[in-house]
A and B are shown apart, each in its own frame.
Chain A
Amino acid sequence: SYEVTQPPSLSVSPGQTASITCSGEKLGEKYACWYQQKPGQSPVVVIYQDNKRPSGIPERFSGSNSGNTATLTISGTQAMDEADYYCQAWDSSTVVFGGGTKLTVL
């Protein structure tokens, strides 16, 4: 079965750039989405179709997807961005989520 892999954790200082990767075989040939989930809340899509931002999502969130890796980039990371982030893709009529990356802003 298809799998996508994320680093379990990432720490950044406020104002720095956070890059969260999601790796999977030929992931660049599929659409990737990214979700932000804060404690006790439902996930929110922050990037869809590799690099598009839904309305209401700050411009500091961006995405890319090529080869075997999709990347979520948060420029000028703020304390409010501290959360779990999940990548998601489709493969053979099945939705696949990455294991999630806990982003700490300190």
Chain B
Amino acid sequence: QLQLQESGSGLVKPSQTLSLTCAVSGGSITSGGYSWNWIRQPPGKGLEWIGYISQSGNTYYNPSLKSRVAISVDRSKNQFSLKLSSVTAADTAVYFCARERLLGSNYYGFDVWGQGTTVTVSS
């Protein structure tokens, strides 16, 4: 069974860059029909999609974050990563990595999620 595990800095200073990694186990990140996503949830608020990287390496980002976001993949380590630059307190959130499944014309949504990691932006 596929599992995702987030890791990275839990405390980031304002104006610095947030860096997180999602390790994929129980399956290959290069398998077709999936995209690898980052989603966040500020304290007490709803879900916000950050962006994804496809198995072919294409990336798509939330337009509201596009200028500050970079998602990359390391196939040798079976993991993908998020970098968010110039962070402010508004970037404080639980960050989830999630697999999205699309096979042919069938859309399965985000079917596997990591447990989430809390990132606090504070000096």
Question: Interface on A for B, CB 8 Å cutoff?
Answer: 1, 31, 33, 35, 42-45, 48-49, 54, 84, 86, 88, 90, 93-100
Q: B14-44 vs A: 1/0 string, CB under 8 Å? A: 0000000000000000000000010000000
* Distance (whole angstroms) from the CB of A92 to the closest CB of chain B: 9
Partner pick for B107 among A1, A35, A44, A48, CB 8 A cutoff: A48
Determine if A42 and B49 form an interchain contact, defined as CB atoms under 8 angstroms apart: no
Determine if A42 and B109 form an interchain contact, defined as CB atoms under 8 angstroms apart: no
Query: Is B62 among interface residues, defined by CB-CB distance under 8 A?
Result: yes
Q: How far is the CA of A48 from the CA of B113 in the complex (A)?
A: 15
Determine if A97 and B108 form an interchain contact, defined as CB atoms under 8 angstroms apart: no
Determine if A95 and B111 form an interchain contact, defined as CB atoms under 8 angstroms apart: no
Given A48-B109, A54-B111: A95 and B49 within 8 A (CB)? yes
A-B contacts, 16 listed (Cβ < 8 Å): A1-B64, A33-B109, A43-B47, A45-B110, A48-B108, A49-B106, A86-B47, A90-B107, A95-B37, A95-B49, A95-B62, A97-B46, A97-B48, A99-B46, A100-B46, A100-B47
Determine if A42 and B107 form an interchain contact, defined as CB atoms under 8 angstroms apart: no
Query: Is B114 among interface residues, defined by CB-CB distance under 8 A?
Result: yes
Q: How large is the interface on B (under 10, 10 to 19, 20 to 34, 35 or more residues)?
A: 20 to 34
Q: A33-B109, A45-B109, A100-B46 are in contact. List 16 more A-B contacts (CB 8 A).
A: A1-B64, A31-B107, A42-B114, A45-B110, A45-B111, A48-B107, A48-B111, A49-B106, A49-B107, A54-B111, A84-B46, A86-B47, A88-B110, A94-B62, A94-B63, A97-B48
Which residues in B have their C-beta under 8 angstroms from that of A49?
106-109
Which residues in A have their C-beta under 8 angstroms from that of B114?
42
Which residues in A have their C-beta under 8 angstroms from that of B110?
33, 35, 43, 45, 88
Which residues in B have their C-beta under 8 angstroms from that of A97?
46-49
Which residues in A have their C-beta under 8 angstroms from that of B96?
42-43
Which residues in A have their C-beta under 8 angstroms from that of B46?
84, 86, 97-100
Which residues in B have their C-beta under 8 angstroms from that of A95?
37, 49, 52, 62
Given A1-B63, A42-B114, A42-B116: A94 and B108 within 8 A (CB)? no
Which residues in A have their C-beta under 8 angstroms from that of B108?
45, 48-49, 54
